[in-house]
Amino acid sequence: MEASSLEELLPRVRPRLARVLRRYRIPSEDAEDLLQETFLLLVAKWDTIRTPEPWLFATLRNRCIVYWRRRRIQLYDLMDDTILELLAKPQAPAQERAQLRADLEVILARLSARCRSLLRLRYGLGYTPDEAGERLGYRPASVPKVTRRCLAQLTGHLIGAGYTARARDD
């Protein structure tokens, strides 16, 4: 690797790289990490890269996409845990549980039939992912992906209805 060409490249492209990060709405606390990871990949592959500048932008865009994909999966996993916690809390008064269940039924009715069925089997009836997938005709490998999409729908409707973790804890 020629240090001078790398030293010339980085200052020249840094403002445009910052625009890419802003376009993908990467939080500032994570933006620098993504840039560093991208620069490390550039240094590691320098000898095999023909045109470093376009490679750098394409790699950073890909890293941004992967970043948000991971964040969405984390959100859905948290939502998964929240639903299980709600269903597992037997100490709530019967009237409160009935109201919560009624609210949940209203929101579930807004989901697609596929999502309603899957979520009822998984969380209402306690089916495993494989059992729910078999019952609904899905391949076992596709059940987690479909579940995440359904939880995304549910999350959107819950947020739209004003449901938050703070409201639940009050």
Domain boundaries along the sequence of the chain: 3-69, 89-169
Map tokens 């269940």 to a residue: 101
Mean pLDDT computed over 119-140? 87
Least trusted range by pLDDT, from 32-46, 110-124, 153-167: 153-167
Identify which of 105, 98, 95, 114 has the alpha carbon closest to the alpha carbon of residue 157. 105
What pLDDT does residue 149 have?
Answer: 87
What pLDDT does residue 57 have?
Answer: 94
Cα–Cα distance for residue pair 79/13, rounded to 1 Å: 39
Looking at the structure, give the CATH architecture of the domain made up of residues 89-169.
Answer: Orthogonal Bundle (1.10)
Least trusted range by pLDDT, from 43-47, 50-54, 116-120, 159-163: 159-163
Mean pLDDT computed over 31-41? 91
Listed in sequence order, the residues at least 6 apart from 158 whose beta carbon sits closer than 8 Å to its beta carbon are: 107
pLDDT tens profile 82-122 = 666 665 555 556 777 677 778 888 888 888 998 889 888 88
Mean pLDDT computed over 145-164? 81
